[in-house]
Amino acid sequence: MSKIERDILLTEVALRDGSHAIAHQYTVEQVTRAAKALGEAGVPYIEVSHGDGLGGSTLQYGLSHTDEMKLIEAAVSASGDSKIAVLVLPGIGTVAEMKQAASLGVKMARVGTHVTEADVSAQHIQKAKELGLETVGFLMMSHMAPVEKLVEQAKRMESYGADAVYMFDSAGALLPDQVRERVRALRENVGVDIGFHGHNNLSLAMANTLAAIEEGAKRIDGSIRCLGAGAGNTQTEVLIAVLDHLGIRTGIDLYRIMDVAEEVIAPLLQVPQEITRDNLVLGYAGVYSSFLLHAKRASQRFGVDSRDILIELGRRNVVGGQEDMIVDVAAELAGLRQG
């Protein structure tokens, strides 16, 4: 990384989380152009992989248009001083795939688990460190556990060797005071950097991100043009402008990141990234943001309201990795309606 003074380290996730929004259809040309532009804007980290991380291209999670290793290789070659990161979800991504990504020039592994299942990350975190990768632990769906459990799980990831631990508001369900409470507890009990990843399903991604920063989070995720699962993530170019007003250094060129958003990323959006009724229900019901497209497809297939599907998934506390339940729930709701 270049020797730019930064108070906050930002990871751009549109080339990973944004994959959900475009049904994992990124091409080498698109990723090359985006990574080059983001690098020129001074973004320190750029995450590239299938939306569900390495190995995610499956029937259950959605098939990729292009082999993710080709996308990673393209991003590494185009990104200049920016470092390329990958997401790894134990049970989906394997150590072998992580080794392959490292051999292509990836510099960071972001290892994610459900908020109560940090123990399954031990092998992946330790192997990432052996590979010489900067290693980050993710606790996803963090609204689903009390603060004490979140801290306990974060300390486990720290003990495995994680250089930082993130809390993920994967459903965009948290309110600012809840973010404050969680980040404060993590800062008081965990010795490594704390990060925050927000979703905008309740229109609170920016407010939640600022709350996290005020409580001491040093690593933040953003998605340029808000390109991410559900209603997207904290919008990168807007966040850079806000932090600039606050005198918080990111090392990212504001005009350039605006240009990237307008000229490079906006043309990739299949539909405007906005808070639709389904996105709103994701946050309201506390449902994993990447379930959105799956729920829409199940809605069309079974002739039931996608909102009813999402509400029922939230009632059952369904989490990432249980995408097959979306079809089951839709079929059950259709059967009840017929009955």
Phi, psi of 332 (to 5 degrees): -65, -45
Find out whether 85 and 72 touch, Cβ atoms under 8 Å. no
Q: Which residues are annotated as a binding site for substrate?
A: 16-17, 170, 197, 288
CA distance 230 to 290: 6
331: which 2 tokens?
Answer: 């079929």
CA distance 19 to 293: 11
Question: What are the C-alpha distances in Å from 156 to residues 131, 162, 178, 191?
Answer: 20, 9, 22, 12
Q: Which residues are annotated as a binding site for Mn(2+)?
A: 17, 197, 199
CA distance 218 to 6: 10
CA distance 46 to 275: 25
Among the listed residues 20, 24, 50, 124, the single catalytic one is 20
CA distance 252 to 44: 8
Q: Which residues are annotated as a binding site?
A: 16-17, 170, 197, 199, 288
* 260 secondary structure, DSSP code: I
CA distance 196 to 139: 10
143 is catalytic: no
What number of other Cβ atoms are within 10 A of residue 39's Cβ?
A: 21
CA distance 192 to 259: 34
For β-strands 108-114 and 164-168, DSSP reports them as: unpaired
What's 272-327 look like in SS3? CCCCCHHHHHHHHHCCCHHHHHHHHHHHHHHCCCHHHHHHHHHHCCCCCCCCHHHH
CA distance 182 to 187: 9
Q: Give the catalytic positions in this structure.
A: 20
